[in-house]
Amino acid sequence: MNAVGISPEEFVAAARHFIKLSDKFFDSWTLHQNDNEILNTYIKKEEFVSHRDENDKIFLYRAEYVIFFNLSYGVPSFSFNVWDCSGKLLTLEEVRQISLMKISKEDFYSVVTQQEHPVLYRPYFIIHPCHTASLLAAFRHRTKNLIITFLGIITPLIQLNLPLEYGL
């Protein structure tokens, strides 16, 4: 574990607690755990999201969000994929365009990259963990659940609704 990070065991405990809250709030996150390999533990949510463009046209997408433990940085890592209504995976630029935040290409691309998922072994967009580590460092000892804090920080960047009840 590094100075600002957490251990895999702390991640799994936070994930289990988060799933209990998700179940309580009917938020549809699921825990995927391999008892033989703690590093393969992740939580996942699938949902439909909509986006209204500048011409008031509404688009519907299917999104899959996965949070897993990044051993190198000792932090939760957030990965996601988004598909259009025909089933085509969106490009990184298309994901940037539907982001809730207006952000430049350079800034977005420095935070989000596409790479092979270290647990699921297929391409995902992943929020770079070095940014996660620096963001969470300030909250490490002041949060009840690091995953909730983590999601609260990144939700404006992506189309993910985090119910306010998680903060209570």
168 is a domain residue: no
User: How many percent of the chain have pLDDT more than 70?
Assistant: 95
Predicted local distance difference test score (pLDDT) of residue 24: 95
User: How many percent of the chain have pLDDT more than 90?
Assistant: 48
Please state the domain count of the chain: 1
Does 48 score more than 80 pLDDT? yes
More confident residue, 165 or 104: 165
120 within 8 A of 103, measured Cβ to Cβ? no
Q: Distance between CA atoms of 5 and 129, rounded to whole angstroms?
A: 11
149 within 8 A of 141, measured Cβ to Cβ? no
Q: How many other C-beta atoms can be found within 10 angstroms of the C-beta atom of residue 16?
A: 13
Structure tokens at 53: 């463009």
Torsional sign, CA 118, 19, 21, 75:
negative
In the sheet that holds 75-83, the strands lie side by side as: 30-34, 37-52, 58-70, 75-83, 123-127, 112-116
131 within 8 A of 141, measured Cβ to Cβ? no
Predicted local distance difference test score (pLDDT) of residue 146: 83
Q: SS3 of 115, please?
A: strand
Predicted local distance difference test score (pLDDT) of residue 8: 94
40 is a domain residue: yes
Predicted local distance difference test score (pLDDT) of residue 100: 65
Range of the domain at 83: 8-159
83 within 8 A of 61, measured Cβ to Cβ? yes
CATH code, 95: 3.30.1460.50
Does 36 score more than 70 pLDDT? yes
